[in-house]
Amino acid sequence: MMRQAGRYLPEYRQLREQAGSFLKLCFTPEFAAEVTLQPIRRFHFDGAILFSDILVIPHALGQTVRFEAGEGPRLDPLTSEQAIDRLPLAVDQAILAPIYQTIKTVKPQLDAKTALLGFCGAPWTVATYMIAGQGTSDQAPARLFAYEKPKAFARLIDRLVENSIVYLTKQFEAGVDAVQLFDTWAGVLPPEEFTRWCIEPAARIVDGLRRHRPGARVIGFPRGAGAMLADYVKTVPVNAVSVDWMADRAFVRERIQSRVAVQGNLDPLALLAGGDALDRAVDSILQDFRDGPFIFNLGHGILPSTPIAHVERMLARVRGG
C-alpha cells in the first residue's frame, strides 16, 4: 500500500521520534529496515516497500535537503543555469550506501511470498523540488524554468536520469524484486511537455536499468496522466502502471490493462472515510479490473490520520474476508 510505512502507524511515529530527523531515519539501516517491516508484521501485505524518500538523489548530489515538521521537504532552490551546472555529474554513492544496506537487512526477514519493492523519484518530479526548493500546488517554478531555460533544464534531467539508472540498478543488486518510478507531478504538464519531461526520461531510465539488469520489473506512476497514460505505456517499457484515483477506470481497463498490469486506484479519502463508502469503493475497483492483471493499491499515499481499523477493513474486503 502506497506510503504503507508512513505516519499513520504508532510504531512508526515512535521510531521517528527516536531517530530525531527524517533523513536520519532514512539513512540509518536498522531504523529504515524496521520501518519497512512494521506494516508487514501488522498487515501481512504481499509486498514490503523500502523506506526511503524520492529526494535522496538531490541529497547525494550535494543539494541541501531538510524536512520541516508539518511542512514537508525543503531544499536550497536551483535558480540559475550556473547552479545546475555546479552539481556533480554523479552522486556520492557513499551517501546512498545505507539505503542498499537497508535492502540487504530486510530481504532475509521476508518470506518467499513477500516481494520487496524499491523505488525512485522520476526526473521531472525530483527536478520540481530541486528548482522550487519545495513542493508547490502547480510546480510553476520548474515549469517556467523549463520553458525559459530548456537546455539547462535538460541538463538537470540528464543528471537525474543517469543517476537514477545507477541507483535503481544498485537496489536490484542489493535484493529488491521490483521498483516503482514515482512521477507524482506528471499531471501538471501539457501533452508536449509531458512527452519531453515525463515519458522520454522514464523510457531512458527503464532501458538503462535493463542494460544492467535484464528483465528488471518496473512499475511506472505518472500521477495525473489521464489520457496521456496511453502514450506512457506505449513508449515506456514498464511491467505495470499505477493509476491515481482520478483515472477513468473504463479507459484504463480498455486502453492500459490490455497492455500492462494495473495498480491502484483507491482514493485515500475513501480509506480515511471508512464504512460503507470504503466498501463500495473497494468493490467497484475489484469489479472494474477483475478481468486483467491487477494489483490492488491506493491511488496515492495513505493519509496520516487514517485509522488502522479502516486499513484492516479494506484488506479484509480485498481478501474476501
- pLDDT for 3 beyond 90: no
CA distances for 168 relative to 59, 142, 231, 255, 274, angstroms: 16, 24, 23, 28, 36
Query: What CATH number does the domain containing 70 carry?
Result: 3.20.20.210
Split into its structural domains, the chain has a count of 1
CA atoms within 13 A on the CB side of 303: 13
Judge whether 240 and 180 are in contact, CB under 8 Å: no
In a domain, 1, yes or no: no
In a domain, 297, yes or no: no
For the question of residue 183 being annotated catalytic, the response is no
User: For position 223, what pLDDT does the model report?
Assistant: 97
CA atoms within 13 A on the CB side of 206: 24
Phi, psi of 122 (to 5 degrees): -70, 150
User: For position 72, what pLDDT does the model report?
Assistant: 81
Which percentage of the chain shows pLDDT scores above 70? 98
121-175: pLDDT as tens digits: 999 999 999 999 998 889 999 999 999 999 999 999 999 999 999 999 999 999 9
Q: Which of 8, 12, 16, 213 is catalytic?
A: 16
- pLDDT for 37 beyond 60: yes
Q: Which of 8, 12, 100, 129 is catalytic?
A: 129
Q: What pTM value is reported for the model?
A: 0.96
For the question of residue 3 being annotated catalytic, the response is yes
In a domain, 96, yes or no: yes
In a domain, 259, yes or no: no
Q: Could you give the 3-state DSSP secondary structure of residue 284?
A: helix
Q: Which of 3, 74, 210, 317 is catalytic?
A: 3
Residue in the structure block whose three cell numbers are 484515483: 245
Q: What is the mean pLDDT of residues 181-200?
A: 97
Distance, CA of 22 to CA of 9 (rounded, Å) = 15
Distance, CA of 184 to CA of 223 (rounded, Å) = 5
In a domain, 195, yes or no: yes
User: For position 169, what pLDDT does the model report?
Assistant: 98
Q: Please tell me the least confidently modeled range out of 13-22, 144-153, 211-220.
A: 13-22
Q: What is the mean pLDDT of residues 304-313?
A: 95
- List the domain range (segments joined by +) for residue 62: 10-238
- Which stretch of DSSP H or E encloses residue 70? none
70-84: pLDDT as tens digits: 678 999 999 999 999
For the question of residue 7 being annotated catalytic, the response is yes
Q: What is the mean pLDDT of residues 1-30?
A: 87
State how far Cα 76 lies from the chain centre: 22
- pLDDT for 313 beyond 90: yes
**CB count in 10 Å sphere of residue 320:** 6
Q: Which of 8, 12, 53, 267 is catalytic?
A: 53
User: For position 262, what pLDDT does the model report?
Assistant: 98
In a domain, 158, yes or no: yes
Q: What is the helix, strand, coil percentage profile of the chain, to 5?
A: 55, 15, 30
Q: What is the mean pLDDT of residues 307-314?
A: 96
- pLDDT for 207 beyond 90: yes
The 10 Å CB-count burial string (b at 16+, else e) for 55-78 is bbbbbbbebebebeeeeebbbebb
- pLDDT for 280 beyond 90: yes
In a domain, 249, yes or no: no
For the question of residue 8 being annotated catalytic, the response is no
Band of residue 5 on the pLDDT scale cut at 50, 70, 90 = low
In a domain, 245, yes or no: no
- pLDDT for 1 beyond 90: no
- When the pLDDT of each residue in the chain is averaged and rounded to a whole number, the result is 95
User: For position 6, what pLDDT does the model report?
Assistant: 65
Phi, psi of 181 (to 5 degrees): -105, 110
Band of residue 321 on the pLDDT scale cut at 50, 70, 90 = low
CA atoms within 13 A on the CB side of 171: 27
- pLDDT for 4 beyond 80: no
Band of residue 2 on the pLDDT scale cut at 50, 70, 90 = confident
- pLDDT for 112 beyond 90: yes
